[in-house]
Amino acid sequence: MATIFTHAILAGSLSQVAPKLEKKEKIRLIILLLTVSVIPDLDVLAFALHIPYEHPLGHRGFSHSIVFAFLMAMLASVIVIPKSEWFQLKWWWILFLIFLAGVSHGILDAMTTGGKGVGFFIPFDSSRYFFDWRPIKVSPFGTQFFTDRAWLILKTEIIIIWIPVLLATIAVRIARRLNKSSKAT
Ligand SMILES: [Zn+2]
């Protein structure tokens, strides 16, 4: 995996392009975006259950797939939006954002230097995939992360993910403000 921080930052930033929501809904959305972005790595339990890495239920398997991201998005979107608004445009938009947050986990993992590839198409195809561009150093789990390597790992993620996300967030905010003031005049 990339570090948990990077998964969360990328997913959390998606809330910037959410439709207009009530405060409660927005908080629920942010919490769920962060949650779905890190849930896939609970599959490390597979190691404890002696499920091999390359098995469809192994690490970076089904839990990192597009189908799993969609299922998480279905479940999470009905938590964010009240039943009366399900299947309306706002709900679809939220579903899509949560889906992106889930898929972003596998995308970041497919850009890492270690482990095995990501099973994006499980259960239809159990192949594992990496992108050709793999600048992210694979992050160890748990307390092993807090070693000398931590800074080395974070440095690349800050440059290729955190800074672009920050710039995109600023750009969205400026665009929104300009839009608001042009409507006001
Ligand atoms: Zn992962």
pLDDT band at 3 (very low <50, low <70, confident <90, very high): confident
pTM (two decimals)? 0.88
Please determine, for residue 1, whether its predicted confidence score (pLDDT) is greater than 90: no
- CA 163, 165, 179, 82 dihedral sign is negative
* Tens-place pLDDT, residues 32-76: 999 999 999 999 998 899 999 999 999 999 999 999 999 999 999
- The Cα 172–Cα 155 span in angstroms is 25
Question: Cα(61) to centroid of ligand 1, in Å?
Answer: 9
Question: Cα(184) to centroid of ligand 1, in Å?
Answer: 45
Question: Cα(53) to centroid of ligand 1, in Å?
Answer: 12
Please determine, for residue 153, whether its predicted confidence score (pLDDT) is greater than 90: no
Question: Cα(106) to centroid of ligand 1, in Å?
Answer: 6
Please determine, for residue 143, whether its predicted confidence score (pLDDT) is greater than 80: no
Tell me the percentage of the chain whose pLDDT exceeds 90.
68
CB atoms within 10 A of CB 69: 25
Give the residue among 134, 173, 128, 130 at the shortest CA–CA distance from 157.
134
Please determine, for residue 141, whether its predicted confidence score (pLDDT) is greater than 70: no
Please determine, for residue 158, whether its predicted confidence score (pLDDT) is greater than 70: yes
CB hemisphere CA count around 85 (13 angstroms):
17
Question: Cα(31) to centroid of ligand 1, in Å?
Answer: 19
pLDDT band at 179 (very low <50, low <70, confident <90, very high): confident
What's the angle, vertex CA 78, arms to CA 74 and CA 84, rounded to 5?
130
At 136, list the tokens: 């992210």
State CA 183 to chain mean position distance: 33
* Tens-place pLDDT, residues 87-119: 999 999 999 999 999 999 999 999 998 889 999
Please determine, for residue 145, whether its predicted confidence score (pLDDT) is greater than 80: no
pLDDT band at 152 (very low <50, low <70, confident <90, very high): confident
Query: Which range is most confident: 121-130, 138-147, 173-182?
Result: 121-130
Domain boundaries, the chain: 4-184
